[in-house]
């Protein structure tokens, strides 16, 4: 923990106070959304009820009726869960192979995988629509969204897992080999128990990214597989007449994820900088 | 099976999946960018289906570069938005990371509050900002300006001083729905969302800073600014580069925010322009897409080189 720069009395009070003020300012929009979600639509736009009002749960109770919230929420849960699972099923063996049996090309393969993440999605918008609508006929299906979410997050998943697996001493895996354990046995009985924490945080982060994805989930769905991103985007409410109910549905859409996010802030650095910042 | 081949096989599914995901759609975009392909062409029905006989060579590229009026504007606007976000997030990120990188009561809570915006889904972020915060009438923006005007009107009733205040004009709340101002709105909301990312990375990096060196600098009488300038900033050079590159790649393909904030008001970036073309002129959309890929690749090469370098240590 840094101890320098804390030598002045004034600084000891001033800087922490400033840190708190800035943190509260940054959190304010989220607070305001949650706060407004307890106002009625009519109260939400009246200046006299800006801070003092009669709280109501009406917006949450009517969420299903106003927005069909659960249909979208269930789609989000299904697609994010399955996409994360598949990404792990494909990613764990791949990362295992690259971490413990690297070849001369492993580094290039990893970097290439990341490069697929950097292709602008918009560049392949029409081909994706064309392929899935006219050719494969999987447009607006859960299968398609799961597949796409899995593929766009696979590079990050493999990359994160790779950095976690690299931390496991090679000797432990080698010892397993000596004892004649099969590869599946190695993964199942040695690797997964040892790297459990890393795998869990990779899964958590992947889930969050799937949940918040807002390009393909909007452009490749109409109704059946539409997720919460699509729901919110479809209710941008330009006239602003429904601040109360819009806040409630937004709170319900982001609340669980923000809370999950609090638990994986440390892993976020690893997942988003590809191990380049330590 | 030998000991070396089976492990290699384990990475095949991932490699094959990503290869297909990359090559098939991109190959199609490349193909479409060289043919005439217009969805709603009643005069030339043969153009409505992709076919090699509609070959156009570089015609779509020429059209996009020289005739499509929004192409250069949207590149310029993309860059304006990305560069502004970068400047704000890096400066704010540095300031906040240094601020939080010390022990004080409630530091954990401060971190939690600071990081939260990063996890808000982009669609909610945009809807929240453009309506509830920035709306010139009903949002906090409008309410705050109205409050100031109200105060001004009350001050005018005072004797003597009132004469002074009645010379002041009332304030007009800024609308964020015009072409230029909605770009500001996008910059604001994305800065809000991504500053936490910069803070988090700079903080991680600050923790690996050499404390002894810093203490030596204090003993030598270096002040806080010169310590920051000469020790901390060089230490953060690499994380800053990473933050800049990763954000550039993400923000060049910014979509949900633009879509929500600026539908129909002319504020567009490259992905949004591609979306517009896609409703009719697929040839132009694909050519624009190829330009977007080239732009992203220029940035990606630098990032990937940097990432690859310290991968195996």
A-chain residue closest to B119, CA distance = A258
Cα separation, A90 vs B297, in Å, equals 26
Per-residue confidence at A158, pLDDT binned at 50, 70, 90?
very high
Q: Do B14 and A158 touch (CB under 8 A)?
A: yes
Which chain B residues are closer than 8 Å to A90 by Cβ? 13-14, 17
CB B14 within 8 A of CB A94: yes
Residue B297's φ and ψ, nearest 5 degrees, are -65, -35
pLDDT value, residue A2:
46
Cβ neighbours around B174 below 10 Å, total: 14
Closest CA to A157 of A87, A85, A213: A87
Q: Looking at this predicted complex, what is its ipTM? A: 0.87
**Backbone dihedral angles phi then psi of residue B35, each to the nearest 5 degrees:** -120, 160
Contact state of B201 with A23 under an 8 Å Cβ cutoff: no
* pLDDT value of position B219: 85
B99 touching A (Cβ < 8 Å): yes
Q: Which residue of B has its CA nearest to A105?
A: B8
Is residue B262 within 8 angstroms of chain A, CB to CB?
A: no
Q: Which residue shows structure tokens 């997030």?
A: B89
Between the alpha carbon of residue B201 and those of residues A235, B115, B156, B304, the distances in Å are 34, 11, 51, 18
Higher pLDDT, residue A113 or A46: A113
Contact yes or no for A158/A106 (Cβ under 8 A): no
The full DSSP string for B95-160 is: HHHHHHSS--TTHHHHHHHHHGGGGS-HHHHHHIIIIIIT-SSSSHHHHHHHHHHHHHHHHTTSTT
* Residues A30, B200: C-beta atoms closer than 8 Å: no
Candidates B132, B190, B222: best to mutate against A (most CBs of A within 10 A) is: B132
Please state which architecture CATH assigns to domain A70-272.
Orthogonal Bundle (1.10)
Return all residues near A261 (Cβ < 8 A) that are at least 6 apart: A208, A268, B115, B116, B118, B119
CB contact under 8 A, A27 and B274: no
The pair of structure tokens assigned to B50 is 């992709």
Average pLDDT on A163-168 reads 87
Nearest to B96 by CA among B108, B110, B82: B110
Question: Any CB–CB contact under 8 A between B260 and chain A?
Answer: yes
Q: Is the pLDDT of residue A149 over 90?
A: yes
Mean pLDDT of A197-219: 91
How far, in Å, CA of A81 to CA of B36, rounded?
41
* Cα(B310)–Cα(B132) distance, integer angstroms: 44
Residue A7 predicted with pLDDT over 70: no
Minimum distance, in Å, between the CA of residue B160 and any CA atom of chain A: 30
Alpha-carbon distance of A156 to A84, in angstroms, equals 11
Mean pLDDT to the nearest integer, A180-206: 84
**Closest to A274 (Cα-Cα) out of A118, A84, A94, A82:** A118
C-beta pairs of B301-307 under 8 Å, 24+ apart in sequence:
B302/B245, B303/A118, B303/B242, B303/B245, B303/B246, B303/B249, B304/A111, B304/A114, B304/A115, B304/A118, B306/A276, B306/B238, B306/B241, B306/B242, B306/B245, B307/A111, B307/A114, B307/A273, B307/A274, B307/A275, B307/A276
Nearest CA in chain A to B216: A4
Cβ-based contacts of B28 with chain A (< 8 Å): 124, 126-127, 130-131
Q: How far is B83 from chain A (nearest CA, A)?
A: 18
pLDDT(A199) > 50: yes
How many Å lie between the alpha carbon of B291 and the closest alpha carbon of chain A?
A: 8
Residue B287's Cα: distance from chain center in Å?
23
Cα distances (Å, whole numbers) of residue A66 to A175, A244, A251, B130, B180: 60, 12, 15, 21, 33
CA distances from residue A87 to A162, B143, B224 in whole angstroms, order as listed? 13, 47, 46
Task: Measure in Å the smallest separation between the Cα of A63 and chain B Cα atoms.
Answer: 16
Residues A107-126: pLDDT tens digits? 888 888 888 888 888 889 88
Rounded to an integer, what distance in angstroms lies between the CA atom of residue B19 and that of residue B28?
Answer: 14
Alpha helices in chain B (DSSP H): 5-10, 12-32, 59-62, 70-100, 107-115, 122-127, 140-155, 161-165, 179-206, 211-219, 224-227, 233-252, 256-262, 270-278, 282-309
Collect all residues of chain A within an 8 Å Cβ-Cβ radius of residue B235. Answer: none
End-to-end CA separation in angstroms for chain B: 30
Mutate to test the interface with A, among B103, B120, B300 (most CBs of A within 10 A): B120
Question: A90 with B13: CB under 8 angstroms?
Answer: yes
Name the more confident of A1 and A184.
Answer: A184
Nearest chain A alpha carbon to B262: A238
Mutate to test the interface with B, among A123, A154, A230, A269 (most CBs of B within 10 A): A123
Q: How far apart are CA A131 and CA A85, in angstroms?
A: 25
Whether residue A156 contacts residue A117, with contact meaning beta carbons closer than 8 Å, is answered with yes
Residue of B nearest to A235 (CA): B127
% of chain A with per-residue pLDDT over 90? 35
Do A116 and A199 form a contact (C-beta atoms < 8 A)? no
CB A127 within 8 A of CB B28: yes
Residue ranges per structural domain of chain A: 70-272
B298–chain A nearest CA distance, Å = 11
CA-based nearest residue to B232, from B195, B198, B203, B206 = B206
Q: Are B257 and B190 in contact (CB under 8 A)?
A: yes
Q: Which residue has the higher pLDDT, B241 or A31?
A: A31
Nearest to A30 among B117, B146, B308 (CB): B117
Q: Is the dihedral of CA B41, B42, B48, B52 positive or negative?
A: negative
How confident is the model at residue B174, as a pLDDT? 85
B66 vs B62: CA distance, rounded Å: 6
At residue B199, the pLDDT reads 92
pLDDT at A5: 47
Interchain contact, A250 vs B308, CB within 8 Å: no
Spell out the per-residue pLDDT of chain B, length 313, in tens: 455 667 778 888 999 999 999 999 999 999 999 988 888 878 888 888 888 888 888 888 988 888 888 889 988 999 999 999 999 999 999 999 988 888 888 888 898 999 999 999 999 999 899 888 888 888 888 888 888 888 888 888 887 777 777 777 888 888 888 878 889 999 999 999 999 999 988 988 888 777 788 788 888 888 888 888 888 888 888 888 888 888 888 888 888 888 888 776 778 888 899 988 888 888 999 999 999 999 888 888 887 887 777 665 5
pLDDT > 80? residue A35 = yes
Interval A5-12 mean pLDDT: 66
A&B contacts, CB < 8 Å: 327
- For chain A, the first-to-last Cα distance in angstroms comes to 16
B104 and A15 within 8 Å at the Cβ level: the answer is yes
Residue contact A101–B14, C-beta within 8 A: no
Given a cut of 90, whether residue A32 has pLDDT beyond it is yes
Closest chain B residue to the Cα of A240, Cα to Cα: B131
The shortest CB-CB distance from B201 to any of A5, A12, A277 is to A277
Of A50, A121, A127, the CB nearest to B143: A50
Among the partner-chain residues B135, B196, B292, the one whose CB lies closest to the CB of A123 is: B292
**Rounded to whole angstroms, what are the CA distances from B12 to A154, A159, A192?**
13, 15, 20
The nearest alpha carbon in chain B to A113 belongs to B18
What average pLDDT does range A75-84 have in this prediction? 96
Contacts of B6 in chain A (CB under 8 A): 183
Using DSSP, state whether B281 is helix, strand or coil.
Answer: strand
Q: What is the pLDDT of residue A84?
A: 97
Q: Which stretch of DSSP H or E encloses residue A13? A: helix A9-36
Structure tokens that stand for A121 in this block: 């999605």
Structure tokens at B88: 């704000």
Provide mean pLDDT across the span A3-23: 76
- Facing B18 at nearest CB: one of A113, A214, A246: A113
Tell me the residue length of chain B: 313
Centre a 10 Å sphere on the Cβ of residue B305 and count the other Cβ atoms it contains. 10
**Range in A49-58, A265-274, B283-292 the model is least confident about:** A265-274
């Amino acid at each position: 923990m840094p101890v320098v720069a804390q030598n002045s009395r004034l600084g000891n009070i001033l800087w922490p106070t400033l840190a708190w003020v800035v943190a509260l300012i940054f959190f304010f929009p989220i607070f305001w959304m949650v706060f407004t979600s307890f106002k009625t639509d009519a109260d939400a736009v009246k200046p006299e009820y800006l801070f003092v009002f009669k709280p109501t749960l009406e917006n949450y109770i009517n969420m299903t009726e106003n927005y069909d919230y659960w249909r979208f929420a269930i789609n989000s849960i299904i697609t994010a869960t399955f996409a994360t699972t598949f990404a792990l099923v494909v990613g764990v063996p791949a990362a295992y192979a690259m971490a413990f049996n690297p070849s001369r090309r492993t580094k290039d393969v990893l970097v290439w995988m990341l490069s697929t993440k950097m292709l602008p999605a918009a560049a392949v918008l029409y081909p994706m629509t064309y392929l899935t609508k006219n050719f494969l006929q999987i447009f607006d299906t859960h299968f398609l969204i799961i597949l796409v979410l899995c593929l766009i997050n696979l590079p990050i998943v493999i990359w994160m897992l790779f950095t976690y697996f690299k931390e496991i001493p090679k000797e432990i895996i080698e010892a397993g080999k000596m004892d004649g354990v099969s590869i599946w046995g190695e993964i199942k009985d040695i690797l997964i128990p040892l790297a459990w924490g890393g795998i869990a945080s990779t899964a958590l982060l992947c889930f969050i990214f799937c949940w918040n994805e807002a390009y393909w989930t909007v452009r490749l769905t109409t109704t059946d597989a539409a997720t919460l991103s699509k729901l919110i985007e479809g209710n941008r409410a330009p006239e602003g007449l429904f601040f109360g109910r819009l806040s409630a549905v937004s709170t319900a859409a982001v609340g669980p994820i923000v809370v999950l996010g609090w638990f994986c802030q440390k892993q976020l650095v690893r997942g988003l900088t590809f191990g380049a910042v330590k | 099976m030998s000991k070396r081949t089976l492990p290699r096989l384990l990475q095949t599914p991932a490699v094959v999946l990503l290869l297909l995901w990359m090559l098939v759609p991109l190959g199609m975009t490349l193909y479409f960018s060289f043919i005439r392909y217009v969805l709603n062409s009643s005069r030339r029905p043969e153009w409505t289906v992709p076919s090699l006989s509609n070959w156009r060579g570089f015609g779509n590229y020429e059209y996009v570069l020289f005739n499509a009026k929004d192409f250069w504007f949207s590149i310029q606007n993309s860059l304006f938005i990305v560069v502004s976000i970068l400047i704000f997030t890096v400066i704010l990120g540095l300031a906040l990371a240094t601020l939080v990188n010390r022990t004080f009561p409630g530091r954990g809570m401060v971190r939690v509050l600071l990081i939260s915006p990063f996890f808000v889904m982009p669609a909610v972020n945009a809807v929240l900002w453009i309506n509830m915060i920035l709306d010139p009438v009903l949002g906090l923006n409008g309410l705050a300006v109205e409050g100031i005007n109200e105060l001004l009107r009350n001050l005018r009733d005072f004797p003597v001083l009132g004469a002074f205040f009645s010379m002041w004009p009332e304030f007009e709340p800024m609308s964020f729905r015009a072409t230029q101002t909605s770009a500001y709105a996008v910059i604001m909301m994305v800065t809000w969302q991504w500053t936490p990312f910069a803070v988090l990375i700079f903080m991680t990096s600050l923790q690996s800073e050499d404390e002894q060196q810093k203490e030596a600098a204090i003993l030598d009488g270096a002040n806080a600014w010169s310590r920051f300038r000469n020790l901390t900033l060089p230490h953060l050079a690499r994380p800053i580069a990473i933050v800049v590159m990763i954000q550039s790649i993400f923000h060049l393909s910014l979509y949900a925010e633009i879509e929500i904030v600026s539908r129909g008001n002319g504020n567009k970036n490259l992905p949004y322009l591609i979306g517009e073309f896609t409703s009719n002129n697929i040839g132009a959309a694909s050519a624009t897409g190829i330009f977007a890929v080239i732009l992203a690749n220029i940035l990606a090469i630098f990032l990937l080189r940097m990432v690859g370098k310290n991968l195996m240590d």
